């Protein structure tokens, strides 16, 4: 399947970005539509820029029990989704259905783990994979077959070399890098005094968390060594939190996820109902005769 290119989209992240990028867009009766409109435009941009043959939008299915058991405060600092965004997920689902775009939400599984699993399965089938996300957690699944393309930048593609240049470590060390520095976005505390550069230096010298702790008595300065020793249990726990799963139980359907032009009649009705008149006008008139 060397000619197959799968685009995996971090659905919630894209919706949030669209919601905050476009403000004060709604229908005449006050229904907010900014996130839906921005989401559609970003998906269209991704398709134009990268020409994927297949695509799947992945949404969060909840916080996994395993991570919550390890750290009850996991992601607890995050604010609740704004009501104006929450009400737009139902029309988003209607749009994806009309566009005949693959979408997936696995109950009790975070989108990152589902995306990582899909990327692994697709690469194993010989496809090239593009991950549309800004989430650094997903840096760890990057390989020669899996690359990251930020949704808002059309000219940037992150492979292993770019991840190394950006973080100081290669993709297979990202989970350990995060375990050492922590992740404020996920409310995971790191080792005091260990920032991204220090963590990268330690991992480049000792190759892994296990290697760091097998040589911890050699590490200078003393304050850094003591912090590492005192936080060993935290780092070990963090590694279980930061390492993405690639074994989520799901069905993989190439035919269902082929990226097509969608059902134009349904899209026309959807765009008209949402008052996206410019999008409705952009559809070819001959396909709308049966609307």
**Distant-in-sequence, close-in-space partners of 129: CB < 8 Å, separation ≥ 6:** 5, 6, 8, 118, 119, 122, 123, 145, 146, 147
The token duo for 35 is 């996130």
Q: What is the pLDDT of residue 258?
A: 95
Q: What is the pLDDT of residue 284?
A: 65
Same domain, 264 and 281: yes
Neighbours of 154 (CB within 10 A): 13
Is 254 contained in some domain? Answer: yes
Inter-residue contact 39 to 92 (CB < 8 Å) = yes
Q: Which residues of the chain have pLDDT under 50?
A: 286, 289-291
Number of domains in the chain: 2
Same domain, 127 and 49: yes
Q: What is the pLDDT of residue 151?
A: 85
| Domain hosting residue 230, numbered range | 171-242
Is 11 contained in some domain? Answer: yes
The CATH number given to whatever domain includes residue 176 is 1.10.150.20
**Distant-in-sequence, close-in-space partners of 250: CB < 8 Å, separation ≥ 6:** 104, 106, 114, 117, 118
Which residue is associated with the tokens 């590492």? 228
Is 191 buried (19+), middle (13-18) or exposed (0-12) by CB count in 10 A?
Answer: buried
Q: What is the pLDDT of residue 286?
A: 47
Same domain, 14 and 34: yes
The CATH number given to whatever domain includes residue 137 is 3.40.50.1010
Q: Give the separation between CA 169 and CA 160, rounded to whole angstroms.
A: 9
Same domain, 259 and 238: no
Q: What is the pLDDT of residue 92?
A: 97
Same domain, 130 and 254: yes
């Amino acid at each position: 399947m060397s000619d197959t290119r799968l685009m995996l989209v971090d659905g919630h992240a894209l919706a949030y970005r669209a919601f905050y990028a476009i403000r004060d867009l709604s229908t005449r009766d006050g229904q907010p539509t900014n996130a839906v409109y921005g989401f559609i435009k970003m998906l269209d941009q991704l398709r134009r820029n990268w020409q994927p043959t297949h695509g799947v939008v992945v949404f969060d299915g909840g916080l996994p029990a395993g991570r919550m058991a390890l750290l009850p405060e996991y992601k607890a600092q995050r604010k609740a989704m704004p009501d104006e965004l929450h009400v737009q997920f139902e029309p988003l689902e209607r749009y994806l259905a009309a566009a005949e775009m693959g979408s997936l939400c696995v109950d009790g599984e975070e989108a990152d783990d589902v995306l990582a699993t899909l990327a692994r399965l697709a690469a194993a089938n010989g496809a090239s994979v593009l991950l549309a996300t800004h989430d650094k957690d997903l840096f760890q699944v990057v390989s020669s077959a899996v690359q990251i393309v930020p949704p808002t930048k059309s000219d940037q593609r992150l492979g292993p070399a770019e991840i190394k240049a950006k973080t100081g470590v290669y993709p297979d060390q990202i989970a350990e890098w995060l375990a050492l520095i922590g992740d404020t976005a996920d409310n995971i505390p790191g080792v005091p005094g260990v920032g991204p550069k220090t963590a990268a230096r330690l991992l480049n010298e000792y190759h892994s968390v296990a290697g760091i702790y097998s040589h911890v008595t050699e590490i200078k300065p003393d304050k850094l060594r003591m912090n590492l020793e005192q936080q060993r249990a935290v780092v070990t726990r963090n590694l279980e939190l930061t390492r993405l799963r690639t074994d989520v139980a799901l069905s993989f359907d190439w035919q269902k996820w082929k990226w097509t032009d969608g059902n134009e009649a349904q899209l026309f009705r959807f765009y008209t109902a949402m008052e996206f008149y410019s999008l409705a006008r952009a559809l070819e008139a001959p396909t709308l005769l049966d609307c």
